[in-house]
Amino acid sequence: MSGPLRLTGSPASGGYAEGPIFRLDRDTASYVLKGSATAEAQALKAAIQAASDQLAALASASTGDAADMLEFQLAMLADDSLSGPAFDAINAGTPADKAWSDALAEQIAGYEAADDEYFRARAADLKDIRQQVLDALTSAGDRTAPPGAILFGEDIAPTRFLATDWSAGGGIALSNGSSASHVAMLARSRGVPMVVGLGSAGMDIAGLALLDAEHGGIVLRPTEGDIDGFRKSSKAYGERRRRAEDGVMKPAATENGVPVRVLVNVADPADVDRIDIASCDGVGLMRTEFLFGKQLPDEETQYRAYRKVLEWADGKPVTIRTIDAGGDKPVPGFTVEEGNPFLGLRGIRLSLARPEVFRVQIRALLRAAVDGNLKVMFPMISVPEEYTRAAALFAEEAKNLGEAGQPHAMPPLGIMVEVPSVAIAPELFSNVAFFSIGSNDLTQYVMAAARDNTAVAALNSVTNTAVLRLIAAVTAFGLLHDIPVSLCGDAGGDPTAIPHLLKAGLRDLSVVPAQLALAKAAIAGVSI
C-alpha cells in the first residue's frame, strides 16, 4: 500500500513521538519441546520462577500504584490454583507452553466476560502473567524495543511498560486499550505519549510513525509534509510545556485573576521526594493502599509514612484518605471475594466491618496529626451513618491515646463525594469538615460506564452535563454552608476538563505531580 496511513483514536497521555513502529504482538521465538512430561514440568516451573524474579525486581524499583499492581501479580503467580491445571495437562502429555496458555486462557475468558470492572482488571493481570511466563519459556522476553520506538499492539502489559527504557523518547499506540488503564496512568505520570482505540490491529503496521497523543492519532508512511507539520506541532507542544514548567512555582490563578488552589495526589511517601512543596498548595489526596501489601501494616509503620509527608508539606494541608480497599484494589487478609466488588464491601464499608484493622490506622493518623496540617477523609461514603460511625471510632481512639499519655490531635474529618447518593443530597452530610469529589468513581457510577471499557469510553466523561451538574450542586452547597469542596480525581489534571470544573464552581483541584504544570497553565487560560 502506498501513501500515508492515518489512524484516529483517543489520547491517553499527552505528547508527541516520532520513531519506528515496534510490534508488541510479533513473535520472534518458538517453543522447543523437552521430550518428556517431567522435563516439560521442570521447564514451566523454571519459567514461572523467572517471571516471578522479574516481577520482584520491577516491584523493588517501583512505588505507589505500580508497586501495588506488581505485588498483586506476584501473589497471583505464586498461587498454586493458577498453575495447577497447567501441570495436570503436562502430566497428560501436553507441552508446557500450550498447557500454560490453555490454563490461563480459560480463566481469562471468564474474567473478560464479567460485567464489572474489577474482574476485567484482573483479566488484564492474568494476560500479563501468561505472557511473561510464555516469554520465559521461549526466550521471547529478550526482545527489546529500539530506543525511541513507538510500541504498537492491541494492548500493552503494565510490566512491559515498566521494563521499557523511556529515556530516549518513544510512545505507545494501541488498537484497543483504555485511557483509564493501569498503563495509561503510568504513562501520564512519566510523560510517555500514548494513544488508545486506534483499531486496525490486523493491518501491516510497520516503518516510521508519527504519534500525536495531544489530539489522538498516528500517521504511518508519512510524507515530508506530514513530518514537517508534525515537528512544528511537537515543537509548539514542547514550548507550551516549557512555559508551563516555568510557571509551576507561581500560585495558580485564572486569566482574570481568580485564585485556584492546586494540590498534588500522592500514592506513596517516596513520591514527595521528587516534588518541591513550593510548587503546590499541599496534598489533596494521599492514598494509603500502598501500606497494605502482603500483610497488614502495624501502627508504627503507618505513623512513620504519614509523618514523612506531613513534615515535607511544611505546614501546608495534607489530606490522607483512609484505606480504600476493595473494588480493583484487593488486600490479602482484609478484602473479601464478592460477585460484584465495585458495589460491595469496599472503602469505608470494609473499614467499618473490620474495626480491628481500622482502629490501627486511626491511631496512626491521630498521632501523625501533631506533626503537620493533617486532614482525613473517608472513601465510598454513601449514607450519613457511615460518617457518624467512623467519626465515633476516631473519638474513641483519641480518648484511648489521651489516657495512655500518647501525643495526638483530632484532624478535620471529611468525606469523598464519589457515590451519587452523596452528590444528590449533600445536605445530609452538612456536619462533615469538607467534601472531596472523586471524579473517577462519581463519573463511572453516574454514567454506568466502566472506566476501563473502550466500548463505552465516550460515555465515561466528567464533562457530561449530568456529572457536571452534580459537581456544581455539591460545590454550591459547600459554598453556602462554609464547607470546603475540592476535586482529587483524574479530571483535576485534565486541561480539557479544567475549564468545565472551574465554571462549575471548583477552586480547589488535586492532580498527579506530572500534571501540575499543565494544570496551572490550563487554569491561567480560563476566564470566569
User: Which of 97-111, 266-280, 384-398 ranks highest by mean pLDDT?
Assistant: 384-398
Whether the model pTM is above 0.75:
no
Q: Does residue 378 belong to any structural domain of this protein?
A: yes
Residues 309, 381 within the same domain: yes
Residues 357, 271 within the same domain: yes
For the chain, the distance separating the N- and C-terminal CA atoms, rounded to the nearest angstrom, is 50
Higher-pLDDT residue of 297, 121: 297
Last residue of a domain, one of 212, 241, 270: 241
Cell of 117: 470492572
Residues 87, 202 within the same domain: no
Query: With bands split at pLDDT 50, 70 and 90, how would you rate the model's confidence at 178?
Result: confident
Residues 266, 387 within the same domain: yes
Last residue of a domain, one of 211, 241, 271: 241
Q: Under a CB-based contact definition with an 8 Å cutoff, are residues 7 and 217 in contact?
A: yes
Angle between helices 64-77 and 117-138 (to 10 degrees): 70
Residues 370, 428 within the same domain: yes
Cell of 320: 490522607
Q: Under a CB-based contact definition with an 8 Å cutoff, are residues 128 and 158 in contact?
A: yes
Q: Does residue 455 belong to any structural domain of this protein?
A: yes
Query: With bands split at pLDDT 50, 70 and 90, how would you rate the model's confidence at 145?
Result: confident
Last residue of a domain, one of 139, 155, 184: 139
Radius of gyration of the chain (CA): 24
Q: Does residue 31 belong to any structural domain of this protein?
A: no
Burial 133-172 (b: 16+ CB within 10 A, else e): bbbbbbebbeeebeebbbbbbebbbbbbbbbbebeebbbb
Q: Does residue 411 belong to any structural domain of this protein?
A: yes
Per DSSP, the residues of 130-183 read HHHHHHHHHTGGG--PPTT-EEEES---HHHHHHS--TT--EEEESS--TTSHH
Q: What percent of the chain has pLDDT over 90?
A: 53
Q: Does residue 211 belong to any structural domain of this protein?
A: yes
Residues 366, 417 within the same domain: yes
Q: Does residue 402 belong to any structural domain of this protein?
A: yes
Identify the residue whose cell numbers are 464533562.
463
Q: Report the CATH number at residue 192.
A: 3.50.30.10
Residues 216, 320 within the same domain: no
Whole-number Å distance between alpha carbons of 173 and 388: 47
Q: Report the CATH number at residue 43.
A: 1.10.274.10
Query: With bands split at pLDDT 50, 70 and 90, how would you rate the model's confidence at 399?
Result: very high
Residues 167, 266 within the same domain: no
* Per-residue model confidence (pLDDT) at position 200: 66
Query: With bands split at pLDDT 50, 70 and 90, how would you rate the model's confidence at 1?
Result: low
Q: Report the CATH number at residue 362.
A: 3.20.20.60
Whole-number Å distance between alpha carbons of 449 and 458: 9
Query: With bands split at pLDDT 50, 70 and 90, how would you rate the model's confidence at 380?
Result: very high
Average pLDDT over residues 423-451: 93
Residues 177, 311 within the same domain: no
Residues 368, 226 within the same domain: no
Query: With bands split at pLDDT 50, 70 and 90, how would you rate the model's confidence at 499?
Result: very high
Q: Does residue 517 belong to any structural domain of this protein?
A: yes
Does residue 481 have an active-site annotation?
Answer: no
Residue 77 has pLDDT above 90, yes or no: no
Q: Considering its fold, how many domains does the chain have in total?
A: 3
* Per-residue model confidence (pLDDT) at position 299: 96
Interior angle at CA 11, CA 5 and CA 13, nearest 5? 125
Average pLDDT over residues 140-169: 84
Q: What percent of the chain has pLDDT over 70?
A: 90
Q: Under a CB-based contact definition with an 8 Å cutoff, are residues 459 and 179 in contact?
A: no
Residues 170, 95 within the same domain: no
Sign of CA dihedral 509, 510, 511, 516: positive
- pLDDT, averaged across the chain: 88
Query: With bands split at pLDDT 50, 70 and 90, how would you rate the model's confidence at 322?
Result: very high
Whole-number Å distance between alpha carbons of 130 and 188: 26
* Domain of 353, in residue numbers: 247-524
Q: Does residue 115 belong to any structural domain of this protein?
A: yes
Find the catalytic residue in 280, 408, 488, 500. 488
Of 14-23, 158-167, 175-184, minimum mean pLDDT range = 175-184
* Per-residue model confidence (pLDDT) at position 345: 75
Q: Under a CB-based contact definition with an 8 Å cutoff, are residues 272 and 308 in contact?
A: yes
Average pLDDT over residues 401-424: 97
Of 128-142, 362-376, 508-522, minimum mean pLDDT range = 128-142
Does residue 280 have an active-site annotation?
Answer: no
Query: With bands split at pLDDT 50, 70 and 90, how would you rate the model's confidence at 28?
Result: low
Cell of 287: 492514598
For residue 38, the tally of other CB atoms under 10 A from its CB is 11
* Per-residue model confidence (pLDDT) at position 83: 85
Q: What is the pLDDT of residues 61-71, one digit of tens each?
A: 777 667 767 87
* Per-residue model confidence (pLDDT) at position 525: 93
Residues 125, 150 within the same domain: no
Identify the residue whose cell numbers are 510490534.
23
